[in-house]
Homo-oligomer: A and B are copies of this chain.
Amino acid sequence: MAERLTDEERGTALDQLAGWRLVEGRDAIARRFVFSGFVEAFGFMAQAALVAERMNHHPEWSNVYRTVEVTLSTHDAGGLTALDVALAAEMDRIAARMT
Chain A interface residues (CB < 8 Å from chain B):
38-39, 42, 45-46, 49, 52-53, 58-65
Contact = CB atoms under 8 A, between A and B. Distances in A.
Nearest to A56: B38
A61 B65 CA distance: 10
B65 A53 contact: no
A22 to B, nearest CB: 19
Nearest to A64: B60
Given A38-B52, A45-B45, A53-B38, A63 B61 contact: yes
A64 B65 CA distance: 18
A58 B45 contact: no
A35 to B, nearest CB: 13
14 contacts: A38-B49, A38-B52, A38-B53, A42-B45, A42-B46, A42-B53, A45-B45, A58-B64, A60-B62, A60-B63, A60-B64, A61-B62, A62-B62, A62-B63
